[in-house]
Structure 1
Amino acid sequence: MVSEYNMKKIAAEHATKYVQAGMKIGLGTGSTAYYAILKIGEMVRDGLSIQAVATSEASEKLAVEQGIPLIPLREVDRLDLTIDGADELDDQLRLIKGGGGALLREKITAFHSERLVIVADDTKTVTQLGAFPLPVEIVPFAYEWTIQSLTQLGCTVQIRHKPDKGFYVTDNGNYIADCKFQQIPQPEELSSRIGSLPGVVEHGLFIGMADQAIIGCQDGTVRILHSGNSVAKNPFDS
C-alpha cells in the first residue's frame, strides 16, 4: 500500500507519457500537477523539445526552475495537451477544481486544449460531487452581494483567507468564495446558475471538459477513466 504522496506521484508521472516532442503543453496547478511538472522538466533536460503555458504564477515559477520553455499565450492558438489535477471527480469526469485558487486560468487553459488529462490520487474520486467546497472566483466589488446570491443557491459561503487572516487574492486580483453544498446532485444545472450571477468571474465546476483521468491507487497501480465512462486498469495508453 502506497501513501497519498506516492499515489499523486504515480498518477502524475503516468500522465507525462502522453507528452510528445513538438507539443504545446498546459501545465496545471496543485499538489498532483506539481509532480507532472517535475517529470516534464526532467524530460526536457533529457532532450525533449516542447513549449508550455502555465495556469498559475506558482506553476510558472516551477516550470522556469525546471527549465521548461514557456511560450506567451498570444503566440498559442490551441494547446495539444493539458495535465492538471482535481479536488473531486466522479465517474463521468465531472470535476471540482480550484482548491489551489487557479480555477479561472485552469478553465481557460482547459477550454483551449485539444486534450485535458486529469491526475489525482484515489481519495479524490467520489460517487457524487459536493463534499469538497466549491470554489467560486468573484470580483471584490460588492462581494457581499455576490455572497448573498451564492447563499441563495443552498450553500454556506466562506471567503477564502490567507494564513495571516487577510483575504486570499487570486493571480487575477479577485476573491475566492468557497461554497459548501455537501452534495451536488445536478452539477450541470448548478454550473449554469452560478455562472449567471453578476459578480461571479468563474466557478470550479468543470463539466464536459476532461477527456481522461489517471487515478493513482493505493496498490501502486493507476486506474484510467475516459470521458465515455469506460474504465481501464493500468493501460499505457488507450
Structure 2
Amino acid sequence: MDDKKKRAGERAAAFVQGGMVVGLGTGSTAYWAILKLGERVREGLSIRGIPTSERSKELAERLGIPLTTFAEVEKIDLTIDGADEIDPRFNLIKGGGGALFREKMAAVNSDKVVIVADDSKRVAELGKFRVPIEVVPFGWEATARRIREIGGQTSLRMAEEKPFRTDNGNWILDGDFGAIREPAELHRQLKLTTGVVETGLFPEAADIVVWATDTDVEVLARSRTE
C-alpha cells in the first residue's frame, strides 16, 4: 500500500513548476508528495508552500521547503492533497486525519487541486467513509442533535480518551449519512448548522486525480465546464 501511495505522491509532485505557491496537503499519500518536493527544492526548484496542518508544516520545514501564508499571497497556484473517498464526479470526503478546515481553505483558494490516492479510495458513491464535521466544542451536543435532524448519526472523535482536537482547537463529529447522492446539498445543510465550522465534504473539488494501482499510475482530469 505504501508503494502505491509513494508512486501517486511522486507523480503529483511533477505538476509543480518553479515559482509556484503550493498547497501542502495532509495524510499518508500527500506525505510522499511533500517528500518529493523537498527533494526537488534541494535540486534547485523555487517554490513556496502553504501547509494544511501542523504535521505538514513540520515536515516541510524539516525538508527545507520555504513556507508562506495567506497574509503574503492572494492565492495558491496548485494544491496537492489526499482524500478518503472519491466518486466519479470528483466529489470527495476528506478529513480522516482531522485537517479538513485547513484543507478546505487551501482548496477553495487554489487555481488547481490535485488529489493523490491509491485505488482503494475510488467509490461509486460517497458515504461508506463517515463524514468528518469540525465543530465548536461549546454546545457540541446541541450541534450533534441538529445534525441528527438532517439525517446523520454522529460520534465524537476521541484520541487517548479525550476529544480529538484539531489544529484550530475544535472537535470533530464523524457522521454517518448512508449513501450520499447529493454531496453539495448535504454540505450546504451542514454549513447552515450553528456550531459547524466546516465539513469533510468537498463537492467537485478535484481538478486532477492521480490514482495508483498495483501496476500503474493513472491521471484523470475534470473539465471545469462540467
Q: TM-score range by the shorter chain?
A: over 0.9
What does residue 54 of structure 2 align with? 57
What does residue 174 of structure 1 align with? 170
Q: Deviations over 1:64-89 (max 9, x none)?
A: 01110111320010111000000000
Give unmatched runs, 5+ long, in structure 2.
none
1:61-80 aligned at under 5 Å gives the runs 61-80=58-77
Q: Which amino acid aligns with 2:219?
A: I
Residue 224 (structure 1) aligned to one of 191, 201, 219: 219
Q: Which amino acid aligns with 1:217?
A: T
Q: Which amino acid aligns with 1:161?
A: M
The 1-side partners of 2:133 and 2:139 are apart by 15
Identity percentage of aligned residues: 49
RMSD: 1.1
The normalised TM-score by structure 1 is 0.92
SS at match of 2:175: strand
1:12-51 aligned at under 5 Å gives the runs 12-51=9-48
- 1:209 positional shift: 2.1
SS at match of 1:80: strand
Checking the alignment, whether the CA contact within 8 Å between 1:51 and 1:70 is kept in structure 2 is: yes
SS at match of 2:110: coil
Q: Does 1:214 align with 2:205?
A: no
What does residue 194 of structure 1 align with? 190
The 2-side partners of 1:52 and 1:73 are apart by 11
What does residue 144 of structure 2 align with? 147
- 1:182 positional shift: 3.0
What does residue 110 of structure 2 align with? 113
Q: Deviations over 1:102-129 (max 9, x none)?
A: 1001001111111000000000000000
What is the aligned residue count? Answer: 224
The 2-side partners of 1:191 and 1:159 are apart by 19
- 1:35 positional shift: 0.5
> Runs (4+) of structure 1 moved beyond 6 Å?
none
The 2-side partners of 1:100 and 1:197 are apart by 22
Q: Which amino acid aligns with 1:78?
A: K
SS at match of 2:218: strand
The 1-side partners of 2:207 and 2:47 are apart by 21
What does residue 235 of structure 1 align with? none
SS at match of 1:74: coil
The normalised TM-score by structure 2 is 0.97
The 1-side partners of 2:20 and 2:103 are apart by 18
Give unmatched runs, 5+ long, in structure 1.
230-238
Q: Structure 1 residues 94-103 or 205-214, which shifts more?
A: 205-214
- 1:224 positional shift: 1.9
- 1:130 positional shift: 0.3
The 2-side partners of 1:81 and 1:141 are apart by 35
What does residue 122 of structure 2 align with? 125
